[in-house]
Structures are given as C-alpha cells and as structure tokens.
Amino acid sequence: MAKPTAKKATRKTIRVSAPKTAPASTAAEPKAPRKLTKAQLIDEINKDLAKEYSALIQYVQHASVITGPQYDTISAELTVHSSEEHQHAITLSDQIDFLGGVPDVNVADIHISPDSKVMLEQDLEGELDAIARYRERIGQAEMLQEYGLRRALEDILIIEEEHARDLQSALDL
Ligand SMILES: [Fe+2]
Ligand SMILES: [Fe+2]
C-alpha cells in the first residue's frame, strides 16, 4: 500500500472513476463541450437539478443511518453536504429561470444501503458523476457565452470536489 506521505498527496487530487469502456488516462479529462442550443442547455441543467435533489435526500438518509465510531466525523459531514446540495438546487433552479426555462421538480435515483461503507461509496459515485457533469456544463455555458451561469457552475463544482475529497478520506482512499 502507499506510504502515508504519498497517500496524503493523493488526497489533493479528485480521481474520477473511468467508465469500464474508456481508457483510464482520459477519465479525468473534461469532455469537450458539444454544440447545443440554449433550450438543450436548460434541459441538461434540469437533469443536474434532479440529481441535486436526489443527493440532498440521500445525504439526509445516510447521515441518519450510518453507524460505527469510525464514521462519526463523516456522519456530521454528510449533513453539511445535504445542506450544500440544497443550495446547489436553489442556484440551478434560479439559473434555469434566468435562462428563460422552467425548473423541473424531478428527483433522480436515490441509493441506500444497510452497509455504512457502501453508503459512502454510493455518495462518492454521485459526487464523481456530479464533477464530470459540471465540468461538461461549464464548457457548454462558456460556449453559449452564458458567463453568469458559468460562474455559478464553477462555484458548485468547487463544493462537489470538496465533497468527493471528504468521502475519499472517510473511505481511506
Ligand atoms: Fe451539489
Ligand atoms: Fe456534492
């Protein structure tokens, strides 16, 4: 296993899991923004919004159910994450409205488990997915010269990266 010093250094990097069909070397690279219309961008942000709603609910459930003295610190942190996902939902809902769209009230899939470690793995999977999606979305906002939206998405991305680091640390990754 990695030496403690090496391990500490790796925690500064967000490792995005590679899709099984993609080469690992490209996994952390932001996708090149694909061309899309403003209406398509609104649709994509509505999907992000549904995932923010599911994340906030998932974190509330996990914070309550997670057990084990080794998870005391992360349990409190999950509640903080939930509040931050709520703020992200508010930001995205406002941005959709600013863009002339209607914010959806859909909730994406929620993942639960009786196993505390699996809960954290589920949370981390959600964060890595969010990081990949927001990296793509920032490129799309830039392409459409929606600079206010880009800034809002960048602020969200910073928090998602913190969430991923918290979870990786709790999982001793
Ligand atoms: Fe979020
Ligand atoms: Fe998050």
CB atoms closer than 10 angstroms to residue 160: 26
- Note the ligand closest to the C-alpha atom of 127: 2
Q: Which two tokens stand for residue 114?
A: 């009786």
Q: Give me ligand 2 centre to Cα 127, in Å.
A: 5
Q: Give me ligand 2 centre to Cα 170, in Å.
A: 15
The helix-helix angle for 38-65 and 72-98 (nearest 10°) equals: 160
Q: Give me ligand 2 centre to Cα 123, in Å.
A: 8
Q: How far is CA 32 from CA 9, 26, 29, 124, 172, in A?
A: 28, 12, 9, 24, 32
- Note the ligand closest to the C-alpha atom of 78: 2
- Note the ligand closest to the C-alpha atom of 126: 2
For the chain, give the secondary structure using H, E and C: CCCHHHHHHHCCCCCCCCCCCCCHHHCCCCCCCCCCCHHHHHHHHHHHHHHHHHHHHHHHHHHHHCCCHHHHHHHHHHHHHHHHHHHHHHHHHHHHHHCCCCCCCCCCCCCCCCCHHHHHHHHHHHHHHHHHHHHHHHHHHHHCCCHHHHHHHHHHHHHHHHHHHHHHHHCCC
Q: Give me ligand 2 centre to Cα 85, in Å.
A: 6
Q: Give me ligand 1 centre to Cα 54, in Å.
A: 10
Q: Give me ligand 2 centre to Cα 10, in Å.
A: 20
Q: Give me ligand 2 centre to Cα 163, in Å.
A: 5
- Note the ligand closest to the C-alpha atom of 80: 2
Tens-digit pLDDT profile for the chain (173 aa)? 344 444 444 455 665 654 444 444 444 565 666 689 999 999 999 999 999 999 999 999 999 999 999 999 999 999 999 999 999 999 999 999 999 999 999 999 999 999 999 999 999 999 999 999 999 999 999 999 999 999 999 999 999 999 999 999 999 99
